Structure 1
Amino acid sequence: MWGFHRTREKVSQSQLNEAQKMEPFWLILLPFLLLLSGTEFSLAEKGERWQKYLSKIAAATKQYQPCSQENCSCHIRCSGVEHFILTMVDRLPDTEMVINVRDYPQVPQWVQPVLPVLSFSKTPEYWDIMYPAWTFWEGGPAVWPIYPTGLGRWDLMREDLKKSAAQWPWKKKYSKGFFRGSRTSSERDPLIMLSREAPDLVDAEYTKNQAWKSAKREESIVGMGGVLHNPPGLGLAPLVVDGVQVRKFHVSDALC
């Protein structure tokens, strides 16, 4: 009996030693087991919670149609944004965001909740997330006749700017203001008129609004030294300076 009891005691002690060795492992493993079991229930709950949204997203994806110019005030800009997204959409995770194609930010800091809106311009008073403008690739204003289809790829333009800067240092440049751009508002009209009155001071001209992406049916005319843009449905608008009508020209739709 003693020997048996001794054997049992030795076996029990051996098992106890092994158990003591394994105790830290089980203490570490236990929280993970509890976490996994809790996660399983949590995932089930979240699946039910988000299912209605997932269903709506799936339905919207099936009904997706490319942006048409008839119902979009900034069709050219949307086209440029879509150009970039389609090149990388397969590498993106499931993502929900808003891309602002207007000239000004959309999410002031007093707005709650904060929304993930991507914009190409902002100030410290806005939560908008900055991103490169579509004009770095396509849909940008044409600078006639140097860039009749817009500035195009910004990576190539940067190299061109470096070469030009080296070729024309400040000491070789004229002391004169220079502007080329579309008529986004009447605020630029005085600058254009100043260029006509004092060409030695300012060289300013309007350009066609949206480069080669503009519809072929849209009419371009020469006005005030530059090419102005005439969207369908809009007629000639008089330019009035100090109460005197100077010239009629087509109003740009660049306000989007």
Structure 2
Amino acid sequence: MICLFRLILARLILLKFCYDQVVALDNFNIYGPGLNPEFNLHVRYFFIKVLNISKPGTNITKNYFQIKFYEDANNEPISIRQEILDRHDGVFIIRFKIYKSYQNLLISIKDPNGNHLDKSPYHLKGYISPDNCECIENDVERWYESLQCNQTYPQIDKDLEKFSRSKLDMNKLGKTIINKYNQKYSQAFCNYVIKNNQVYRKCYGEHIGFNTFSDNIFNSLVRKVKIPDVEFFMNLGDWPLNEKSQNILLPIISWCGSTDSNDMILPTYDLTESTLEMMGRQSLDIMTVFENSLPDWNEKINRTFWRGRDSRRERLDLIDMSRENPDLIDAGLTNLFFFREPEHIKKYGQLYHRTSFFDFFKYKYQINMDGTVAAYRFPYLISGNSLVLKQESKFYEHFYRDLKPYEHYVPFKKDLSDLKEKIEWVMSNDEKVRKIAVNAQNYAKEYLMPNHIFCYHVKFFMAYSKLLVSKVVIRDEMERVTQPNSINCVCDKQSQKNDKAEL
């Protein structure tokens, strides 16, 4: 009898939960690129925005949404891996990953009572295929539209501007680059050719393992869209190669740029790999940071936080400052690798255990300092809901040009001479700096998402190809970078070109 009573009580509680959460059906706006069948990325995603909920006590959570996938006229739902992520701003990200081709996919989005939300169900007409399939869009403008690319990316224009007059003869420049930088124990780079949408390369140097990252993104690109024939050199190391002091302008692509080098840049291997491995090997990506940026601003610890290794002197200086000002800064080393002298081991050898990146956001303020080059954690830091204080630096990533001090972050001097003053300022201007943190996160929500990482690469190669004056040929000793096995693939581009998703 007691068990029966508990069962009835549990069901009543569940019904009350559903009743409390049910809101007007027009209070939802469902949108995003993943509702377009031509949006062909490793992970597809769209958004559910909750609008104008004024009912007291209403708290929409991930469990509210009942999402199912169907193929064509099949009445039985199909099993597709999906995740619902809460951005904690009234918007939920729904992302899903497919492992075979489907025809006329239907996405049903309902509330707990079984009512369709917004314009659900959504019909993705034609075939959609997994990432390993070579379903190539020959019309790059159509591809831009499906990915919602920007018209332009300022860093691309800046990088290529310096080469616009000289043009690029890779027959001559390639020999110069190889002769100058082919130093086995100090440099590592690859000479790439993309021809007929196939990737070829020859690598130079001893430590060339990072070519895996560049191979992965280039192969992913050519499976999706027609890339013009191009030849280029990809730096696999941390530091930009072509310093301005060398007095020679050479077309080299790096993951990190600097004000004293000529290197062109692409999104870092870290950001690109986290994009390619979403819902896979990577647990840290831009979207998961949105969900795990907790707690809310007013519940955060009112101190500045930093963890990292000893990859430059200023990081040790930060540890000193933290010890002198523990009420302002919680900073700790997790590895002592570069400064191994006895006096440094004695002073800084007490290391901290690694902290989960998501736990960084328990603190209201984050410090971003250079490592060997730009700290590649920066895009993830601004994706959180803490304020970022950023060290002034000559190094930059592909998106830094978009950001402005005191609008997206608070700057401090390279030598940390004004860092204490800046921390005291942010602690005394809570509303101002909260707005700065919101601006930074809003930037990440728009421009650090997977579509823009892919857009940036393609826009770069389209612009770069126009500077080449030499014929693109597959060089001696180049090897083809093989694609993954294309299984369960059907590419029906024609059916997709004639049918738009019902957005």
Using the size of structure 1 for normalisation, the TM-score is 0.42
Q: Which has the higher helix share?
A: 1
Q: Which has the higher strand share?
A: 2
CA radius of gyration, larger in: 1
Q: Which has the higher contact order (CA 8 A, sep 6+)?
A: 2
